[in-house]
Amino acid sequence: MSALKRALLVLLLLNGFAFAGPPIEFLDDAEQARFNALSAELRCLVCQNQSLADSDAGLAEDLRQEVIKQMREGKNNAEVKTFLVERYGDFVLYRPPLQTNTLLLWLGPGALLLIGGVIVLLNVRTRTRMIASESEPEQQPDQPGDSRSKS
């Protein structure tokens, strides 16, 4: 069993190394800055909680090479993103576009905040009213008849 585990471990490590490609050599700082900013906005599809910039996965390496190639071909950031979205869907974007199926995603947090705020506000109001009525307990028994006659 331990031999099998060891073999699996070696296999896992080998897979990682087999894919590690050469690092990208940037022409200048501006290109590097643009590449870093762009790849940080793109999601790695293999390890889904890492960006393309952070991931060591083989596909991420391929996609990084493709991104830098397209940048050097003169494509702008939007065009590079479109290339990836056409193949992998909106999922590759860390900031998905605002469209009908992402409305909840974009507006949900704000809506929740609003609902929470309203609940807090209502709570605070009822409590201040309760506290206010508790702080003047002596007057209250005399008042009811009065207030009723006013209304």
Partner 1 sequence: MKRIFPLIGFVLLTILLMIGLNNSADKEKIPSPLIDRPAPEFSLPRLGAPGSLVSKQDLLGAPYVLNVWASWCLPCRIEHPAMTALAKSGVINVYGLNYKDTEDNALNWLDRMGDAYGMHIVDAVGRVAMDFGVYGAPESFLIDSEGRIRFKYIGPMTEDIIQKELMPAIARLDESIQ
Residues that bind partner 1 (CB under 8 A): 11, 15, 18, 45-46, 48, 58-59, 62-63, 66, 85-91
Closest CB 34 distance from partner 1, rounded Å: 21
Closest CB 27 distance from partner 1, rounded Å: 23
65, 24 Cβ separation under 8 angstroms: yes
In the bound state with partner 1, the residue whose beta carbon lies nearer, of 19 and 106, is 19
Q: Which two tokens stand for residue 84?
A: 């990836």
Closest CB 62 distance from partner 1, rounded Å: 6
24, 68 Cβ separation under 8 angstroms: yes
Buried b (16+ CB within 10 A) or exposed e, 18-41: eeeeeeeeeeeeeeeebbeebbee
In the bound state with partner 1, the residue whose beta carbon lies nearer, of 89 and 117, is 89
Question: Nearest 5 degrees, angle CA 24-CA 26-CA 27?
Answer: 145
In the bound state with partner 1, the residue whose beta carbon lies nearer, of 46 and 114, is 46
In the bound state with partner 1, the residue whose beta carbon lies nearer, of 15 and 139, is 15
Q: Which two tokens stand for residue 63?
A: 């996609």
Closest CB 38 distance from partner 1, rounded Å: 17
